[in-house]
Amino acid sequence: MLQLMREKIVSRSLRVGVIGLGYVGLPLATTLAEAGFHVTGIDIDQQKVDQANQGKSYIPDIASSTLQNLVEAGRLTFTTDFSILKEIDAISICVPTPLRKTRDPDISYIIAATRQVQAHLHPGQLVILESTTYPGTTNEIVLPELESTGLRVGKDFFLAFSPERIDPGNPNFGTRNTPKVVGGVTPACTELAEAYYSVAIEQMVPVSSAHVAEMTKLLENTFRAVNIGLVNEIAIICEKLDINVWEVIDAAATKPFGLMRFLPGPGLGGHCIPVDPQYLSWKLKTLDYTARFIELAAEVNSSMPYYVVGKVNKVLNETRRSLNGSTILILGVAYKGNVSDVRESPALDIIQELIRQKAVVLYNDEYVPSLTLSGRVLRSQPLSSGLLQAADCVVIVTDHSYYDAAWIVDEARSIVDTRNMTRAIDDPKIFRL
């Protein structure tokens, strides 16, 4: 089986399936198709499938022209029908792994995808889980389900974990040129998964097990979450000491060793950094251990939206206004600049807290035309002089590149800048973190 799969990889006759067509799955499917494989993308969302089959990309990092060329060439097709898996040789599972309201892992999407694979598992198949999850998921959840067919891992089929490392909106690093970690359940699984992905991805990083690969991803994002939590607390400390935190960071960053530059902000957003460390924390709780750094960082980072609201309140008080009844304009609701993703965005908590305190909240974000919060639909307002002048306070939450900081400062009455977009401007109506 192993030799046959190697031959299919070399000849590009390997039939590929990607389950989940979001920010991870669609770029992966596109990259594999560009490498010469015939790829089938599978998703339960009929709208995504229809759009992709028409060559229309809904992911900013994938150009519609690229998608359309691959679809027209017959290298890329999309379906909601999981029975296609019986014809597939290599399957990558790229489904969401959110947190439940209780902050424990929700791996229901992984389980659902695994059961679909199990229903169509056949000898020789390679299955790779890419969804971020806690260490042990591949061996403890996916493996038993697949071996329930009577097929044996490393002999009849092959199973590995390879963490996604997508950074939406990053112009320098994409699927192809970001080093890819892969760890198999057996050495043969690692070898085959590495050979398969190396056709499309420039640098492979094989590790000794699926457990190591799973932990690698969690370390990456826990490292970021903890350091962002640290610098967010430093920002609060600097305000209490009447020190400009941005100047401190710029000065500290000149040290050529021993320090990495992290920036404070209104809180953590996106699917990875706020979520992934909690998967590790939850796993350790099952082992009667408290991950104190992770818990403390989460506490600091999750408090930042409320810190921002407090700062808005303070700014209004200085101009003899009350938050109750004031018009607050939020600039940017996506979790980071130049993307449309609002998952875990700190803007959501900021807006809800402002509304709770009876402020009138408007927002602008060209990437996010509408937003539903607690059953209330908000729509992005066109950015204009009139809109800026009408607001009692403008809060820069997301640093989209289309924002003209100088113009915003000229037009606004007061500004709370959580991203240091106004760094080059000295004006008493600007209040930074």
Catalytic residue numbers, as ranges = 272
Contact 214, 133 (CB under 8 A): yes
Residue 44's nearest CA partner among 27, 67, 20, 23 is 20
